[in-house]
Structure 1
Amino acid sequence: AAEAAACRKFCEENGLTVVAMQRIHKMRQHLARLAKTRLDDAGKGVASKTGGILSSMPPPTKAQEKLLMQAICSGLLDNVARRATPEMLPDGSMRFTRAAYVSCSKSLKEPLYVDSTSALFSKESRRLPEWVCYDSLVRRPTKDGTKIAVMKSLTPLEPSWLAVAAAGSRLLTLGAPLDAPLPVYRGEKDAVMCFIETKYGSRGWLIPPLQREMRDFSSNKRGSVTEYGDLYRWFARFLLEGKVFPELADLKSMLNDDPGIITRKKPVSKVALLVSSLSGAGVHSAGTLRMHWKEKDKKFLFKCMKSWTKKDRAAEVKRLWQDTVKSCISQ
Structure 2
Amino acid sequence: MPFLICQVSGLELCELIGVDSSPSPSGVSAVEAEWIPELLPQYCHPGAPLDSPPPWFSQSSGTIRCHRASTFYRVGWQLPAVEKEYPDDLERYKLFSRFLLEGQVCPELRKHSSHLLSNPSIMLKSWAKLQPRTEALLASLLSERVDSRDALLSVWKTEDKFLLSAYCQWLPEALHQEVAKSWPPL
Do both proteins adopt the same fold according to a TM-score greater than 0.5, normalized to the shorter chain?
yes
Counterpart residue identity of residue 293, structure 1: W
The reply to whether residue 186 of structure 1 matches residue 47 of structure 2 is no
Q: In 2, distance between residues paired with 1:194 and 1:322?
A: 35
Contact 1:177/1:194 (CA < 8 Å) preserved in 2? no
SS in 1 for 2:67: strand
The reply to whether residue 269 of structure 1 matches residue 141 of structure 2 is no
Contact 2:3/2:33 (CA < 8 Å) preserved in 1? no
- In the other structure, the counterpart of 2:47 is 176
Q: In 1, distance between residues paired with 2:139 and 2:104?
A: 20
Pairs aligned (count): 161
Query: CA shift at 1:310, angstroms?
Result: 2.9
Task: Give the alignment's TM-score, normalised by structure 2.
Answer: 0.70
- In the other structure, the counterpart of 1:204 is 77
- In the other structure, the counterpart of 2:3 is 80
Match for residue 258 of structure 1 among 103, 112, 119 = 119
Contact 2:45/2:72 (CA < 8 Å) preserved in 1? no
Alignment gaps of 5+ in structure 1: 1-72, 74-78, 82-103, 108-160, 220-228
Match for residue 245 of structure 1 among 102, 106, 124 = 106
Match for residue 298 of structure 1 among 156, 160, 167 = 160
Query: CA shift at 1:166, angstroms?
Result: 5.9
Runs of 4+ with deviation above 6 angstroms: none
- In the other structure, the counterpart of 2:182 is 323
Contact 2:37/2:44 (CA < 8 Å) preserved in 1? no
Q: In 1, distance between residues paired with 2:111 and 2:140?
A: 23
Higher relative contact order (CA 8 A, sep 6+): 2
Alignment gaps of 5+ in structure 2: 9-31
Q: In 2, distance between residues paired with 1:274 and 1:191?
A: 18
SS in 2 for 1:187: coil
Query: Using a 3 Å threshold, how does the CA distance of structure 1 residues 80 and 250 change in structure 2: closer, same or farther?
Result: same
Query: Using a 3 Å threshold, how does the CA distance of structure 1 residues 285 and 166 change in structure 2: closer, same or farther?
Result: closer
Query: Using a 3 Å threshold, how does the CA distance of structure 1 residues 179 and 203 change in structure 2: closer, same or farther?
Result: closer
Query: CA shift at 1:259, angstroms?
Result: 0.2
Asked which structure has the greater CA Rg, the reply is 1
Q: In 2, distance between residues paired with 1:203 and 1:106?
A: 14
Q: In 2, distance between residues paired with 1:192 and 1:281?
A: 17
Query: Using a 3 Å threshold, how does the CA distance of structure 1 residues 169 and 292 change in structure 2: closer, same or farther?
Result: closer
Identity, % of aligned positions: 21
Counterpart residue identity of residue 194, structure 1: C
Deviation sequence 1:135-157 (CA, Å, 0-9, x none): xxxxxxxxxxxxxxxxxxxxxxx
Q: In 2, distance between residues paired with 1:280 and 1:232?
A: 11
Contact 1:106/1:203 (CA < 8 Å) preserved in 2? no
Q: In 2, distance between residues paired with 1:304 and 1:242?
A: 15
The reply to whether residue 309 of structure 1 matches residue 171 of structure 2 is yes
Query: Using a 3 Å threshold, how does the CA distance of structure 1 residues 206 and 287 change in structure 2: closer, same or farther?
Result: closer
Contact 1:186/1:192 (CA < 8 Å) preserved in 2? yes
**Mapping of 1:111-260 within 5 angstroms?**
162-164=33-35, 167-169=38-40, 173-181=44-52, 182-199=54-71, 202=75, 204-207=77-80, 209-214=81-86, 217-219=87-89, 229-260=90-121
SS in 1 for 2:82: strand
